[in-house]
Structure 1
Amino acid sequence: MLSKQPIGVFDSGVGGISTLRVLTQMLPNEDFIFFGDSLHAPYGSKTAGQVVDLSQKVVDTLLAQNVKAIVIACNTATSSAKPWLVDHYPNVPIIGIEPALKEAVDDGHQDILVLGTALTLSLPKFQTQLDQYQENHHITVLPCPGLADLIEQGDKRLTDIKALLIDLFKDIQNRSFSAVVLGCTHYPFIQPLIETYLAQKNNIKFYTGYEGIGRQLIRTLEQKNLLRENHDKRYIKFLTSKKGQDELELYKKLFKNGIQL
């Protein structure tokens, strides 16, 4: 009966919905419960300790919904909180997303741009990966303070998002990259916009890590005999730490249509 329980997915806010969209396509027989901690978004501007505390509360909320596994659809929470969560919830499969720098390197790219929150990019998990590859590759790391916060508010902040991207990219606007790693799950919602502000607009490959985390989730569920094989009436449920129905309506809108650019 455990295989019939839903999968929990969480993020600091709306960003993880972009991950959820891919997971629901890769696992069409699974039910999902998404929790957006929008009341405390974004995690990228908080300390690692704060992110651990917030992530624990979210995991407890999802476990109260009887989920069979948890996906951390937040690069910052994965880097800051996943080791602690895995240690404190040993009976729960916990999978976390990470910046897909390795994937870009493995595909043979030499000129790589990595975008992410300041916290994600500063933590040992990413720094270790960066140290491993930067000697033989041209890797530009660009923290994007404030970007996730604007995306969190949806279409209504599109003008501000564009202005911030212009400011963030001003020092690299003449640089050419063959690959861009989107190291925050909020960023794929504006991927076409990001491409617009890059000097090289053709033949750029974007990496999100979504397929990787999807494959890892499938392998984990198979190993634990938790994969659901047949399900005609699957559901996707949205929860939020923010009061009011407006946030849930935004989640549903983003899941269905994304941000209209």
Structure 2
Amino acid sequence: MLDVTMPIAVFDSGVGGISTLQTLVKMLPQENFIFFGDSANAPYGEKSRDTVFKLVDQVVQQLLTKNVKSIVIACNTATSAAKPVLMEKYPELPILGIEPALKEAVDAGKHNILVMGTPLTIKSPKYQAQRARFTDQATIHSLPCPGLAELIEGGHQSLPKIQTYLAQLLNIPERDQIDAAVLGCTHYPFVTELIRQQFTQPLAVYTGYTGLGNNLRRQLAQRDLLRTTNPKRTIEFMSSKNEAAELALYHQLFEQGIGIRQLQ
């Protein structure tokens, strides 16, 4: 039986979901949270769909032992690979997932939109269907970014490699026409400013976090699970690596704000 005082679980393949967690914590100030980073198996974006599902299911089973009232999949790849099956498997539990914020960019009137995502996300039928919905409203450029999430997992020491990687990745013929970037992986917001530096024109960036937060609040309210008071809020961090250094990194990134994007 779900209870209003139970925490909300947020998980990702690694540190990326902390960028999502920061938004949810601000939008739901009375809720307790548990963040789980599957850093031992990161990144998910270049694994097979079946492998990703098995990893996600293992994480969910572990989180259920923590008596959570909702699970937020803060990983575009994991959402695509696992969310529908998990919703059928655990119908009593609100399970939400992050998806590329393409609609948000189109609704804002952007005309040349770059969608950056892991190879698995870009290839997913759900993203391809989403893209097809908006091709008559905007020019959409889909850009798989193999290896970028893994570099971001390395933190500050990976800065030179990240800068070189982005310079090569974003050296595309359409670059001067792009007016918006949709970051289709929760790792990528950590390098938002480094991405912007590759463009001479102003670049609007969309993550989808606010829409996810609104959906989470709505689903909890519909089930009478939305907490209205909490004098002793808690935010717990867990990692499949279960190493002090990894947990310290989670705390550091959370407390600094979206810190790796300011690597420079």
Q: What is the TM-score of this pair, normalised by structure 2?
A: 0.96
Give the CA RMSD over aligned residues.
Answer: 1.1
1:242 aligns with 2:241: yes
Q: State the match for 1:162 in structure 2.
A: 163
Q: Is the 8 A contact 2:106 2:137 kept in 1?
A: no
Q: Is the 8 A contact 1:116 1:183 kept in 2?
A: yes
Q: State the match for 1:76 in structure 2.
A: 77
- Structure 1 residues 148 and 172, CA gap change in structure 2 (3 angstroms): farther
Q: Which moved more, 1:53-62 or 1:163-172?
A: 163-172
Q: Which runs of 5+ in 2 are unaligned?
A: none
Cα separation, 1, equivalents of 2:71 and 2:175? 41
- One-letter amino acid of the structure 1 residue matched with residue 224 of structure 2: N
Q: State the match for 2:98 in structure 1.
A: 97
Cα separation, 1, equivalents of 2:118 and 2:138? 21
SS at match of 1:199: coil
- One-letter amino acid of the structure 2 residue matched with residue 194 of structure 1: I
Q: State the match for 2:153 in structure 1.
A: 152
After TM superposition, give the deviation of residue 3 of structure 1 in Å.
0.5
Write the deviation string for residues 146-187 of structure 1: whole angstroms up to 9, x where unpaired.
Answer: 100010111111111101001101224742222110000000
Cα separation, 1, equivalents of 2:212 and 2:136? 27
Cα separation, 1, equivalents of 2:120 and 2:136? 23
Cα separation, 2, equivalents of 1:255 and 1:49? 30
Q: What is the TM-score of this pair, normalised by structure 1?
A: 0.97
After TM superposition, give the deviation of residue 136 of structure 1 in Å.
3.3
SS at match of 1:60: helix
After TM superposition, give the deviation of residue 199 of structure 1 in Å.
3.2
Q: Is the 8 A contact 1:173 1:197 kept in 2?
A: no
Q: State the match for 2:21 in structure 1.
A: 20
After TM superposition, give the deviation of residue 36 of structure 1 in Å.
0.3
Query: How many residues are aligned here?
Result: 259
Q: Percent identity?
A: 54
SS at match of 2:200: coil
Q: Is the 8 A contact 1:176 1:199 kept in 2?
A: no
Q: State the match for 1:41 in structure 2.
A: 42
- 1:105-124 correspondence runs (5 A): 105-124=106-125
SS at match of 2:137: coil
Cα separation, 1, equivalents of 2:24 and 2:70? 13
Runs of 4+ residues over 3 Å off in structure 1:
none
- One-letter amino acid of the structure 1 residue matched with residue 60 of structure 2: V
